[in-house]
Each structure stands twice: as C-alpha cells, then as structure tokens.
Amino acid sequence: MRRLAEAGIPARIVDAREEAERAIAREITELVRKKPDLVLGLPTGKTPIGVYRELALLHRAGRLDFSRVRTFNLDEYLGLGAEHGAAFARAMREMLFDHVNVSPGNIHLLNGLVGPERAAAHCRDFERAIAAAGGIDLLLLGIGRNGHIAFNEPGSSRDSRTRVVELDETTRTDAAAIFGGIEHVPKRAITMGVATILDAKRIRVLAFGAAKAEAVKRTLALAVGPDAPATFLRGHPGLAAYFDADASALLARSS
C-alpha cells in the first residue's frame, strides 16, 4: 500500500480493491467493539459492495455484532418504492442488511416515495435523527464520475443539507444499465447534503477502476468548490481515501 497526502486527501493506493475493503471492514469491526451502537453512513452503488461482503463475513464468523449499530443511508431515487429493483433501500438489504443482525429500527433510509408536500419535513427529520444519534461516526463514500458525493451533483454548496436534488446527466447515464435505459432513470433524488457528510467524524472514500481516474484527479487537483463536490472533502480531519492503481493512474507518483 502506497500513501499519498496531496491536497489534503490522505490516500492509500492499494494493489487490489480487496485490500481496501478488508481494511475498512476491519476498522468498522474494531470501532463496533469499542462502541457497539456505532453510527454508520452508508452508500450504495458498485463501490461499497466488497466492504459489505467483508462485513457479512466478519459477522458470520462471530466477530462483528450489528445488533446495536445504527445506519443512515446517503441517498435514494425519488419516485422509487423500497421494493423497486433499482431502489437503494433494496440494494442495502441485498448487499448488507439481510446478512448481518442489524435491528430494523436502527436502519434509517431516505424515502423515495415521499410526496412533494412532505419532502422538506422528511429531510429535516433525517437530519434530526442523525443529530439525535450523536452524529455519524464513520461514513463510507464513493465518488461519481462527475465528482459528486452521494447525490450532491456539481453545483452543490458546502453548506447543503439533506434535500431533493435534480440528477446530473452523467449520473443518469451511469445508472441507465440498472434501469434498463436512461429514459427510466429518475430525474430527481433525495440526498444527504455536503455539510451532512462533512459532519461525519470519519469519512472513508473509495474509488476503484479506470472509469474513476479522472474524477479522482479532479478531486485532488481542482480548486475546492461546487464544480466537483468531492473537493469539499479535502482537509476533513477524519478523512482517508482508498484508490486502486487504475483509479489513481492520473495522479503524479510521489514514491
């Protein structure tokens, strides 16, 4: 594992993504041992799959007890019920919740079916629930090809909170396969804000594969600002990023 500390992002460059996935799963296991009611911020998408697989393995091996762990999901498509094949609520069940002993009452998901008249209150309730839980201890995060974090698309401000957003064309294009065509991808979503994410005590950012190389480079090289919301992560005191060789291929080699 090679370390980079450019531009306020302590990055670990791993030879294989499994190395990062195991390291983060071990870290979460140790944190849960110290604080059984740990509060996690959890993403969906392809990036975190391996971390969830490792967590399930650790649970099955009797080394990780999720019974008091509390979870907050980062985002959800607007208009999708929890049973929809592309809903993040369903992906979370399939990737993690069905494989560990998490208590349903400790799972906090954004509701894709919230109506326009309830949406603002739902977002406020979500923020309040995070605060009532004492804040997020560890938040896992991917980076979109356009530099988004959760569904904070380019243009999102540093002080944004949980809210309804319009999805970017890049984001909708990347989701087209799972929806069976871009015309079926929702145009809007509900997401934790940038400020919600930055309030987490620890943030673990993952990016794997050549498709993320440009976004990783932009995250480290662009001026901090809304053009690439991932730049807002720079300087967060509890941040660690894990990139594989392909995702970090456009970074200058420091060793």
Sites of contact with ligand PGA (CB under 6 A): 45-47, 142-144
Cβ-closest position to ligand PGA = 45
Contacts of 119 (CB under 8 A, 6+ apart): 164, 190
Query: At its nearest, how many Å lie between ligand PGA and the CB of residue 15?
Result: 20
Query: At its nearest, how many Å lie between ligand PGA and the CB of residue 143?
Result: 6
Residue reference for tokens 């509701």:
111
Structure tokens at 136: 């997020």
Choosing from 21, 75, 168, 244, which is the catalytic residue? 75
* Residue nearer to ligand PGA on the CB measure, 85 or 134: 85
Query: At its nearest, how many Å lie between ligand PGA and the CB of residue 134?
Result: 25
CA dihedral 103, 107, 111, 112 (to 10 degrees): -90
Structure tokens at 56: 């399930």
- Examine the residue annotation and report whether 111 is marked as an active-site residue of this protein: no
Choosing from 54, 59, 127, 146, which is the catalytic residue? 146
Instruction: Please state, in angstroms and as integers, the Cα–Cα distance from residue 55 to each residue in 24, 27, 30, 38, following that order.
Output: 9, 10, 12, 14
- Examine the residue annotation and report whether 184 is marked as an active-site residue of this protein: no
- Examine the residue annotation and report whether 122 is marked as an active-site residue of this protein: no
DSSP string, 170-202: HHHHHHHHHHTSGGGS-SEEEE--HHHHHTSSE
Specify whether the CB–CB gap between 68 and 106 falls below 8 A: yes
How crowded is residue 37: how many other Cβ atoms within 10 Å of its Cβ? 13
Choosing from 127, 137, 153, 168, which is the catalytic residue? 153
- Examine the residue annotation and report whether 148 is marked as an active-site residue of this protein: yes
Choosing from 76, 111, 137, 148, which is the catalytic residue? 148
Query: At its nearest, how many Å lie between ligand PGA and the CB of residue 211?
Result: 7
* Residue nearer to ligand PGA on the CB measure, 68 or 90: 90
* Residue nearer to ligand PGA on the CB measure, 32 or 203: 203
* Residue nearer to ligand PGA on the CB measure, 39 or 149: 149
Query: At its nearest, how many Å lie between ligand PGA and the CB of residue 26?
Result: 21
Pairing of strands 138-142, 202-207: parallel
* Residue nearer to ligand PGA on the CB measure, 144 or 193: 144
Catalytic residues: 75, 146, 148, 153
